[in-house]
Structure 1
Amino acid sequence: MARDLHSFWEWGRKIVCVGRNYAEHARELGNPVPGAEPLLFLKPVSAYLRPGFAIRPPRYSRRLQPEVELGLVLAKGGSCIPQEEAMDYLGGYALCLDMTARDTQEECKREGHPWTLAKAFDCSCPVSDFIPKDMIPEPHRLTLWLKVNGQLRQQGQTSQMIFPIPYLISYISGIMKLEEGDLVLTGTPAGVSDIQEHDELQAGIDDLITMKFKVESD
């Protein structure tokens, strides 16, 4: 029996993230732009954070950065999904922040280590309410934005994604089975920057949804 996607963060099994899916973001961090295949990493479901709760930086990081992203919520599972069928597996969307411990990530990259400490800590995936699929007839024509204390930091269009949504669903499902309630983060546009304790973050998709979070230490 199908479950209620409006609470996918309560029962979904995994969060799959796409890195460097906007060329200008890759360049601003001095990273190579991906070639033939996307860059993937994972977050645990304990990373979910809902509005009304504070973003808490991990104790080992002094440079926390938010990345605004469009999230894809799967309505049904599948493996090796053909691109031409990929949108049939999609149930809807969510606005997300990929919280990144940037200093930790830079250290991981220097040492050749995975990004787990930088990307997979608790509350590293603030997420909005569920957006049903029929509310976004063209997901590649959205404007994402992020403000910190009212100042615009990030703004970009999903049309700038290097790898479009059907390709991402197909590619990921060829590596691991995608399941009902899974979330896929599709990458962030340029403009990432550090945030501090007590900052207020507001993110949005033009004409669709906004969400707010405060940054607090333990």
Structure 2
Amino acid sequence: MDYVFPPAPQAGAAVAGSAARFPVRRIFCVGRNYAAHVREMGKDPDRDPPFFFTKHAGALVDSGATVPYPPETGDFHHEAELVVAIGTGGRDIAEADALSHVWGYAVGNDLTRRDLQAEAKKQGRPWDWAKDFDASAVVGPVHPVASVGHPDKGAIRLTVNGETRQDGDLAEMIWTVPEVISILSHSMKLAPGDLIMTGTPAGVGALEPGDTCVVEIAGLGRIETLIGPRG
């Protein structure tokens, strides 16, 4: 097929123990999926149906990359997250079958322009400008299910310059991975290459140029991001 200019390269995440990469199609994110984080954001953590927002695949960056401090913000935040990598697509997936659609899991950091998000909330506008910007989705190597199983508990921690900011457990998620996959698949057909960032524990906070941000999840290792100068 001919194009009027060369198409963008295929976005992809590293794969643990392999030179191959996991091709990324879309990135879905779950909002407010840990009760303590819901409270720190000033909301009620009742178990309402989950809501989603998205990031484009081009926002993906590997562990070890330097992320420029983004423009149009003075309140740039980290959010440690478990990432689910979909290997088999489907629509209206039953919760009991959801885990069979998972290829693997990774450590992630959902970078956020918090001041833009707060303004969007105030005006009842979408969160796109706050969440979906260049280099806003840090995703570490994807670990195949065959190697790590399906983690549903275990520590999830984030440090900035060695200081602990977030310290939670995957078991604290309001909506489990099977529930999230099933509910999302009722809205649209999932496809191989989709990633799902499953929400963040309490303790989100600001990053500054020169900071080193590390996220660790039990059994999945760690990712590291250096925050560069303002873009």
TM-score (norm 1): 0.93
**1:199 corresponds to:** 211
Structure 2: 5+ residue runs without aligned partners?
A: 1-11, 16-20
Pick the aligned partner of 1:97 from 109, 113, 128: 109
Measured in 1, the distance between the counterparts of 2:83 and 2:145 equals 12
Percent identity between the two aligned chains: 36
Q: Match for 1:213: what amino acid?
A: T
User: What does the per-residue CA deviation read over 1:51-76, in whole Å, with 9 as the maximum and x for residues that have no partner?
Assistant: 23211232101101110000000011
Q: Match for 1:51: what amino acid?
A: S
How far the C-alpha of 1:5 sits from its partner, in A, is 8.1
Which one has a bigger Cα radius of gyration?
A: 2
How far the C-alpha of 1:208 sits from its partner, in A, is 3.3
Measured in 2, the distance between the counterparts of 1:180 and 1:38 equals 22
**1:162 corresponds to:** 174
Name whichever structure is richer in helix by fraction. 1
**1:81 corresponds to:** 93
User: SS state of the match for residue 37, structure 1?
Assistant: coil
How far the C-alpha of 1:106 sits from its partner, in A, is 0.3
Q: How does 1:61-72 map to 2 (within 5 A)?
A: 61-72=73-84
Pick the aligned partner of 2:141 from 119, 129, 132: 129
Name whichever structure is richer in strand by fraction. 2
Greater shift in the superposed pair: 132-141 or 150-159 = 132-141
Q: Match for 1:148: what amino acid?
A: V
How far the C-alpha of 1:207 sits from its partner, in A, is 4.3
User: SS state of the match for residue 106, structure 1?
Assistant: helix
Measured in 2, the distance between the counterparts of 1:13 and 1:4 equals 11
CA contact (8 A) 2:216 2:223 kept: yes
User: SS state of the match for residue 140, structure 1?
Assistant: coil
Measured in 2, the distance between the counterparts of 1:56 and 1:168 equals 31
Change (3 A) 1:148 1:128: same
Q: Residue 180 in 1 paired to residue 170 in 2?
A: no
Aligned length: 214
Measured in 2, the distance between the counterparts of 1:105 and 1:4 equals 26
Q: How does 1:15-164 map to 2 (within 5 A)?
A: 15-33=27-45, 35-164=47-176
How far the C-alpha of 1:4 sits from its partner, in A, is 9.9
Measured in 2, the distance between the counterparts of 1:5 and 1:126 equals 11
Flag as ranges the 4+ runs of structure 1 deviating above 6 A: none
How far the C-alpha of 1:36 sits from its partner, in A, is 3.2
User: What does the per-residue CA deviation read over 1:113-159, in whole Å, with 9 as the maximum and x for residues that have no partner?
Assistant: 10001000011101101111133334111211110000011011110
